[in-house]
Structure 1
Amino acid sequence: MTEPATKPDAARRAADLYERGFSRAAIDVLEAELRLQPEAGALWRLRAIMLQREGRLDEAFDNIQRALALVPLGYEGLLVLAAGYLRQGHRASAASLLTDLTADGDFPAELWEPLYNSLCAIERWQAALAVCRRAARLRPDDDGICFAAANTLARLGRPPQLSLAMLRRAIGLNSAEPRYRIALSMQLVRMGQIDEAYRTFCEMTRDEVEGIGCRCCLQKALQLCIDRGDAGRSSWLASRLAIISLAKRSAAGPNSQAQGGQA
């Protein structure tokens, strides 16, 4: 009688810890229980999902494969499996799984983002847009969906006014997210609306500019500010680009820096 109760108890403890922000402890609880019950597929599945959320992707893929042989994976588990296939280079397997999930009318709207991201990774832009549209019907005030739809519309080569409208809606829903404003500014540049692009960029604070991680966006914004004679914002952008370049060189390691110096 004791053993059947162990699995749900462990799952509940782990879920409670995770919801309270103790993600590492939650994962460790499941690991300890799985040493006792290595055939507990539901625990492998739950641990895989938690690991995926925490960015421990290789461990997540290993755990979800263990669960696959023991229990149904559920929607989030299948997304973990598809993401693992992509990282391993098994694009056909990932694409097949993602196609099935996209076509599933019962797919939960709250999981739209990992499905969207995986579809983008295999450049299934039309399917990614379909995911955005379906999610938007159920979550009309989700600014992230509007932003994703804007990006996908641009990838599909749709009229730029459509992306522009989605970006403006995203900003209307969440004006505190700097990614939306920089994306809107860059879209306006592409459309030749330089004055409005500059005005939009000028609405961003220095702290927001220093949070931009896209080098391409930073370079375009820098050129925009240089053309406008805006020395202050040009300095912000140049500094941010230098920081990103330094971080990239540091991440590449000392060997690549040495090779670059020898060149």
Structure 2
Amino acid sequence: MILEQAVIKYEAGDLDSALNLTKQFLDQNEHDGRGWELLGLIQFRSHEFSRSVSALEQASLYIPLRIKSRAYLALGYGEIGKRELSRDLLVDIINDPAISVALLIEIAAGLDSIGRPDLSVDACRKATERDPDNAQAYYSLSYYVARAGLTTAITESLARRAISLDPLNARYRVGLAGLLMSQNRHQEAYELVKGLEDDQLSEIHCKQCLGRIRDLYQQAGDYDRMIFCREKILELETHEMRGGC
């Protein structure tokens, strides 16, 4: 019963409560593989990567790890510096037919973080094949295509596909606008972002991205949005100075 409660808390995003319940369960059931597995998942989500790896390795002594746990163990290896091991395990996992699109996108980010954006491209391609209507899969693919050094035309095409699937997503529009600005296609870039409302711009948490479109708005004489971006940048800087994450 305690473990089931811990799972519910974990799935609801209440990691502190999930952690306390799981530790309480393991105090009484120290050889329970599912308990150790859940502990590893919670610790991974809490960015305690060394502890997560240790817990998931412990779980694997008792049970076969489920695919998400295998993925988090592999991602954890990357976070603690075991890059080759992480890469090998992740490449194996992306070929598992049971993997979800969301997990493929997480794995793509992990592969990029260990310096393999080319493999991130493979993961995101599989995600688009699995779900051709998933906007995030296409946008992530566009990002890693650029990171892997492929043509900007491919990057632009994939980003536009993401926007067509999720036209209200400000992050996709701002990202593509930045690419167009790098090609001196400022009017096309402005067309992408000229209709964004304040609440949409609030979704952007990248100072560099906000800085680019702030300049774009200034060039276009769109001063209300320019001022909003400038204030948002100051807000993010203040948050960083106070130690926010």
Given candidates 84, 88, 104, the residue that maps to 1:92 is 84
- Offset at residue 251 of structure 1 (A): 1.4
- Offset at residue 198 of structure 1 (A): 1.0
Q: Take 1:247 and 1:150, find their aligned partners in 2: how far apart are those partners?
A: 29
Counterpart for residue 106 of structure 1: 97
Q: TM-score, normalised by structure 1?
A: 0.82
Question: Between the two proteins, what is the percent identity of the paired residues?
Answer: 23
Q: Take 2:150 and 2:203, find their aligned partners in 1: how far apart are those partners?
A: 29
- Are the equivalent residues in 1 in contact too, given 2:121–2:144 (CA < 8 A)? yes
Counterpart for residue 155 of structure 1: 147
What does residue range 2-151 of structure 1 map to in structure 2 within 5 Å?
10-19=2-11, 24-53=16-45, 55=47, 57-102=49-94, 104-110=95-101, 111-151=103-143
- Partner deviation per Cα, 1:14-54 (whole Å, 9 max, x = no partner): 43454566554444333222111111112211232244345
Q: Take 1:198 and 1:22, find their aligned partners in 2: how far apart are those partners?
A: 40
Counterpart for residue 4 of structure 1: none
- Are the equivalent residues in 2 in contact too, given 1:101–1:107 (CA < 8 A)? no
- 1:218 equivalent to 2:218? Answer no
1:210 corresponds to which letter in structure 2?
S
What does residue range 172-211 of structure 1 map to in structure 2 within 5 Å?
172-211=164-203
Q: Take 1:216 and 1:170, find their aligned partners in 2: how far apart are those partners?
A: 21
- Offset at residue 121 of structure 1 (A): 0.6
RMSD: 2.4
Please say which structure displays the higher CA radius of gyration: 1
Other structure's SS at 1:39 match: coil
2:159 corresponds to which letter in structure 1?
L
- Are the equivalent residues in 1 in contact too, given 2:177–2:192 (CA < 8 A)? yes
* 243-252 or 51-60, which deviates more: 51-60
Other structure's SS at 1:251 match: coil
- Partner deviation per Cα, 1:90-129 (whole Å, 9 max, x = no partner): 2222222223223x34351332122111111112122111
Structure 1: 5+ residue runs without aligned partners? 1-8, 253-263
- Are the equivalent residues in 2 in contact too, given 1:181–1:204 (CA < 8 A)? no
2:184 corresponds to which letter in structure 1?
G
Structure 2: 5+ residue runs without aligned partners? none
- Partner deviation per Cα, 1:134-177 (whole Å, 9 max, x = no partner): 12111111111011011011112222222222222212222232
Q: Take 2:50 and 2:239, find their aligned partners in 1: how far apart are those partners?
A: 24
Aligned residues: 243
2:59 corresponds to which letter in structure 1?
A
Q: Take 2:178 and 2:159, find their aligned partners in 1: how far apart are those partners?
A: 11
Q: Take 2:148 and 2:19, find their aligned partners in 1: how far apart are those partners?
A: 40
2:110 corresponds to which letter in structure 1?
S
